[in-house]
Amino acid sequence: MALIVQKYGGSSVADTDRIKNVAKRVAQYHQRGDRIVVVVSAMRGVTDGLIALAKNIAPLPSEREMDMLLATGEQQTIALTAIALHALGVPAVSLTGAQAGIVTDGVHTKAKIHNITPKAVHELLHAGSVVIVAGFQGETREGQITTLGRGGSDLTAIALAAALKADLCQIYTDVDGVYTADPHLVPDAKKLNEISYDEMLELASLGTKVMQSRSVEFAKKFRVVFEVRSSLNDNPGTIVKEETKSMEGVVVRGVSLDKNQAKLTLVAVPDQPGVAARIFKAIGDAAINVDMIVQNISHGSGTPATDLSFTVDKPDLLKAKQVLENLKPTIGYQAIITNENIGKLSIVGVGMKSHSGVAGKMFEVLAREGVNIDMISTSEIKISVVIDLAKGESAMKALHAAFVS
């Protein structure tokens, strides 16, 4: 009798037929004698729809109120899933994140999980119920509702699997597993049988949205082995686990395109000690994650000045701009330029640690495609470039053909 955490994403609960389909699968496991905790997302499009409603009223709505609003999406699905299980004669109880004991910090819209006290979950499982937990949400110690960042239901599932010491953690989605590139954009992409935490983490943080990156970080830290698989068939999925020796044989495991980045450039910032520290401290204090940073060489006579560019997630662009505008009187730069038409294209693989010449080959392929490289960043197991968004998909296909096919 196994304890299994199953997470169903927005596409798997997109309408009532899909919810009934989820209930059927859960019922099969329950009838086998397994104890099941189900984590569900909001129905596809619901979270985006709620965000659009708020932005219709104000461009930068209060983050506390956004959490209050967005948490309702998952609350609909837990109740509907419980109702669907009842219709099949399966005992089931839905719980909000707070009721499931998920305690977070107070950073609204991007809260981190502090701890989980799943007393209610244990009691319901013990009584023979399926427990359905709202993904993506938690509560602070003071009782404020929070959310865990976009795609955060993955994190709810992995964190619950760790807290409950589950035997299995399954992430159900609308594709058969993790592919070498987004199968909806690259028809030649191949499904991977397994992938290491580090590769999955890089891909996830570089735009491969099949898993939320923070959930993979959590899985790596607490050694939660999980499987990404389809809710629409019974094909085996992709196992995400610790790196093994044999994984190093493959140089590039996957290619990823992140269309959700924006670039800010501060023109003519004084090139003096402490300026960058002040800028990025203020950005960090606003809970904005910065990825790539490029500083040009100094120009001008008198006080040297330089241009400073960096990338942030698109939804944070407006907030980042506001932070920088507030700094203008004390730092004294000339202008802010923003660009939302960028794409971050990356190749990822643990095999890069032991193979040379990968960057050269990547840049050659991009040159052949006539793609100009705007920014570059590398780590031991990835190379990322910022390019023009319009060329993103064709450049991704070219890299996939050169490295993976």
Task: Name the site residues for ligand ASP (rule: CB under 6 A).
Answer: 9-10, 41-42, 47, 73, 135-136, 150-154
CB of 255 to ligand ADP, least distance (A): 8
**Measured from the CB of residue 220, what is the shortest distance to Mg ion in angstroms?**
18
Selected range binding Mg ion among 3-11, 51-59, 288-296, 357-365, rule: CB under 5 A: 3-11
> Which residue, 149 or 283, has its beta carbon nearer to ligand ADP?
149
Q: Chain centroid to CA 116: how far?
A: 21
Q: Which does 198 bind (CB under 5 to 8 A by kind): ligand ASP, Mg ion, ligand ADP, none?
A: none
Contact 308, 278 (CB under 8 A): no
The verdict on 152 binding Mg ion (CB under 5 A) reads: no
Whole-number Å distance between alpha carbons of 292 and 374: 11
Determine the Cα–Cα distance for residues 74 and 155; give it in Å rounded to an integer: 14
Residue 182 near which of Mg ion, ligand ADP, ligand ASP, none (CB within 5-8 Å, type-dependent): ligand ADP
- Please identify the residue of the shown chain whose CB is closest to the bound Mg ion: 151
Q: What 8-state DSSP symbol labels residue 209?
A: T
Binding range to Mg ion, per CB under 5 A, among 96-104, 144-152, 273-281, 289-297: 144-152
Residue 55 touches which member of Mg ion, ligand ADP, ligand ASP, none, C-beta under 5-8 Å by kind: none
By rule CB under 5 A, what count of residues binds Mg ion?
2
How far, in Å, CA of 12 to CA of 4, rounded? Answer: 18
Q: State yes or no: residue 9 binds Mg ion (CB under 5 A).
A: yes
Would you say 111 or 268 has its CB closer to ligand ASP?
111
Contact status: 177 vs Mg ion (CB under 5 A): no
- Residue 236 vs residues 192, 214, 245, 278: alpha-carbon distances, Å: 10, 24, 23, 49
Cβ atoms of 113 and 138 within 8 Å: the answer is yes
Q: In angstroms, give the least distance from the CB of 28 to ligand ASP.
A: 24
Helices (H) and strands (E) in the chain, counts: 11, 20
Rounded Cα–Cα distance for residues 384 and 397 (Å): 15
How do strand 342-348 and strand 261-270 relate by DSSP bridges?
Answer: unpaired
CA 185 to chain centroid, in Å, comes to 18
Answer for which of 135, 138, 149, 151 binds Mg ion (CB under 5 A) is 151
